[in-house]
Chain A
């Protein structure tokens, strides 16, 4: 009973601290005369201006007098097209439009720039993760290998990557390797993130392998299995299961690290935020929104991993 009361007291303290923090942030914004305006934010998540209707070919535009039908006649060609499902026309009758010119906005919702940025962040992280796991597995196996070349190379890779800042690596990949090999911004981003995360995953996998008792490898070899077979069927399954929490943590780090690729011409969530701010000058609202979106992503992920862990622990 007494313990219940003191617990209640400390929950009260917790709530007070939270309220104090929020009040502090608000107070600071008042001091700099910041004019909060959250109403501008939703349109960057979901845009109500509808889908863009683009010209499929070079053509002359005809719009019926009631303004409901827009027809195209190809310039110097035979094709024609007509549209009725649009809200507001941007072209006028008699205009000559070129391919991919904006004709009109169609009715309905479309994802705003923040959601598009979030999707890019997700795509970038997922693709990078696949390659990072691959690099990490190879380098991790190299770290525990007998072969001196494999061991030295993997160890150099890990030291080199862990000893230099990710931002510098991104610049090197984008401006040097990317230029030489003509990589797109997305490819360059994936390369930089995968190589970086791979080094950390290599260490996780190495420690996972080393945590499996030696006897497992010995028993496998005594049955006539090759080193590779013993790794594949006996050691790695146990090592990966043990390292799953650390691997998940590394994936969450990867999502957060991916914000650094916004220095390249790649509109991820962070870059989307910067683009919005440069047009509406509302840094507080936008950065808070961006932070919340990252938090939603990483929070969902760690929840899924906890569930997976529980399932594995049951087996």
Chain B
């Protein structure tokens, strides 16, 4: 298992200048094609951990390796690394001054220097994949939250990443739109994409994850495959947390 690890975080700590410790020595390994869901109460450090994986957040000590590259080493070309690691945000963060299609095309054209035609046809295919081919020429402001998040997923996929990070992708959505986004994510998982998902959607975690991680107080408290994780939680704090969210 260790040999196949695409992501390997070792003893990662993160201290903010004001003294709060967001991460207190976290070890995490994710294999190629594995789907890992990270759950936990707010402030537990789960989003911070996710964001250290593509250096959107710096770390205080420890090491993060992604596909054999040390993410936080000074010599690492972060822009290049990030093309391999797609990220989807809670607030979508689509570019409001561009159409859905232009949102998806921007990075392939400007970062990978793909020609216009190639970028466009790939973007069209991706929008079709997330079920939004008919919204290609619409600006984000005219899309629903669920549609915006699906465009954001297409945008991240446009760089053909090997890993996808999801930071609470459905938390800012109205309940009736959660399903359409989770459907797209399930498709991705089925295709064998390596995924790290910070989520509050226990149903999704149970159905799709290969492994579920419970974080609290900046540490990983418990990790297990979904079946034992949810059906027989062996950990006290996890039991209390699940009791709260599943109530």
Q: Which chain A residues have a beta carbon within 8 Å of chain B's beta carbons?
A: 213, 215-216, 218-226, 229, 233-234, 237-238, 241
Contact = CB atoms under 8 A, between A and B. Distances in A.
Q: Of B54, B86, B96, B156, which is in contact with the most chain A CB atoms at under 10 Å from its CB?
A: B96
Contacts of B112: 224
B95 interface: yes
Given A229-B111, A233-B106, A223 B95 contact: no
A222 B97 contact: no
Given A213-B91, A215-B91, A219-B89, 15 more contacts: A215-B89, A218-B89, A219-B94, A219-B155, A222-B56, A222-B82, A222-B85, A222-B156, A223-B82, A223-B107, A223-B159, A224-B83, A224-B107, A225-B107, A233-B106
Contacts of B97: 237-238, 241
A224 B95 contact: no
Interface string B75-89: 000011111011101
B82 A221 contact: yes
Interface of A is mostly: helix
B93 A213 contact: yes
A216 B159 CA distance: 17
B247 interface: no
Contact of B79 (A215, A219, A225, A237): A225
Contacts of B82: 221-224
Given A216-B95, A222-B82, A229 B110 contact: yes
A219 to B, nearest CB: 4
Contacts of A229: 110-111
B149 to A, nearest CB: 12
A16 B49 CA distance: 70
B110 A225 contact: yes
Contacts of B94: 219
Nearest to A212: B96
Which of under 10, 10 to 19, 20 to 34, or 35 or more describes the interface residues of B? 20 to 34
Contacts of A237: 97
A182 to B, nearest CB: 44
B93 A219 contact: yes
A237 B93 CA distance: 15
Nearest to B96: A238
Nearest to A238: B97
Nearest to B55: A221
Nearest to B152: A219
Contacts of A220: 95
Contacts of A219: 87, 89, 93-95, 152, 155
Contacts of B54: 222
Contacts of A225: 79, 107, 110-111
Contacts of A222: 54, 56, 82, 85-87, 89, 156
Interface in B58-93: 79-83, 85-87, 89, 91, 93
B111 A223 contact: yes
A309 to B, nearest CB: 15
Contact of A216 (B86, B93, B110, B111): B93
Which 5 A-B residue pairings sit nearest by Cβ, starting from the closest?
A219-B93, A224-B83, A215-B93, A223-B107, A222-B87
A274 B85 CA distance: 67
Most chain B CB within 10 A, of A213, A223, A238, A241, is at A223
B21 to A, nearest CB: 23
A277 to B, nearest CB: 51
Contacts of B89: 215, 218-219, 222
24 contacts: A213-B91, A215-B89, A215-B93, A216-B95, A218-B89, A219-B89, A219-B93, A219-B94, A222-B54, A222-B85, A222-B89, A223-B82, A223-B86, A223-B156, A223-B159, A224-B111, A225-B107, A225-B110, A226-B79, A233-B110, A234-B95, A237-B97, A238-B96, A238-B97
B223 to A, nearest CB: 25
A218 B56 contact: yes
B122 to A, nearest CB: 14
B43 to A, nearest CB: 19
A258 B112 CA distance: 46
Nearest to A223: B107
Contacts of B85: 222
A95 to B, nearest CB: 69
